[in-house]
Amino acid sequence: MGDLAVGARSGQDGPEEQRPAEPVPPAAEDTVPAESDSGAPGLVGSGSGSSGTGSGDSGDDTARDLDESGHKPRKQRSFWKELPLLIGIALVLALLIKTFLVQAFSIPSDSMQHTLEQGDRVLVDKLTPWFGSEPERGEVVVFHDPADWLAGEPTVEPNPVQRVLGWIGLMPSANEKDLIKRVIGVGGDTIECNGTGPLKVNGKALDEPYVYAGNTPCSVDDQGGQFKVTVPTGKIWVMGDHRQNSLDSRYHQEDKNAGFVPVDNVVGRAIVVAWPPTRWDTLPIPDTFDQNLSAAAPGALGLAGAVPLVLWRRRRAGGRPAAPVTVGNSGVPGSGTAG
């Protein structure tokens, strides 16, 4: 019995037989263990890692190609492709400004010295006439030639580039026959010049500091320098500031408009000298035109003359009742029927 082998069955007391540990096979390089429940990451094989890295780069590139709204942003056009569009917009705007707002004009003569010198560029307001504004006394206005005032005057033939730029409004037009003068009288005004002056509007003398130094307000000649005119409705009377060097309304009294300029011919009011920079200045209405120059209406004059007569008759009557007016009586004292 003493030679019995010592062994222990499962569940029995006694020492347990020790067996050698079986070797664990090495993990395959391409095997990726699943992540444990505890969240601990498993081993990552080299093949899988390479694939993951490539996928991540592709996602970054896609994100860079999309904007915030998830769409691919448009590529910006080159400057040279946008330049023709910008030039077209600028030309359209210039044409609209010239037509409806402001236009540049060049001064061709010395008739407005020293207010305007030959070669000055002025900007003319063309907007207010669209709203019914009409020229006022004292304004410097540009107007279309009313009756061949510029006949015989030398004209400069523009080149094709100047024609295009003038039509657009980027430079003064050389084709339009326009003049620039100062408005002295409007419809209903009576204007007169006697001797060397002063110039009178509706009987009131003008103080004219803008007249060219050495000139007199009125020109002593028999071609039109001495005059007395009444401006018709819808017309204006214009004169140059260089009085002895301006062929203005005074010297065109024999034309179809009798020297007056139709309001419809007025392009607009010159508001500023824009070029050259050393000549920059505004063109306000002189203070002398601030005085009450309006012509009294005939009806107002008749009413003013009738008031004293009525008061005198009331005093003469002494409160007595007026005589009744019979049929056929004109109402004129001392008369029967209208004769």
Nearest one of 258, 254, 281 to 270, comparing CA atoms: 281
- Which residues on neighbouring strands pair with residue 201, listed in sequence order? 191, 204
Residues with Cβ within 8 Å of 22's Cβ and at least 6 positions away in sequence, in order, are none
Alpha helices in the chain (DSSP H): 46-65, 79-100, 160-168, 298-317
* CA pseudo-torsion sign 231, 236, 241, 243: negative
Distance in angstroms (rounded) separating the CA atoms of residues 257 and 262: 8
Is there a contact between 257 and 147 (Cβ–Cβ < 8 Å)? yes
Residues with Cβ within 8 Å of 240's Cβ and at least 6 positions away in sequence, in order, are 111, 112, 181, 182, 246, 248
Which one of the listed residues 98, 106, 126, 181 is annotated catalytic?
Answer: 181
Which one of the listed residues 106, 111, 173, 246 is annotated catalytic?
Answer: 111
204 is annotated as an active-site residue:
no
181 is annotated as an active-site residue:
yes
Distance in angstroms (rounded) separating the CA atoms of residues 251 and 319: 60
Catalytic sites, residue numbers: 111, 181
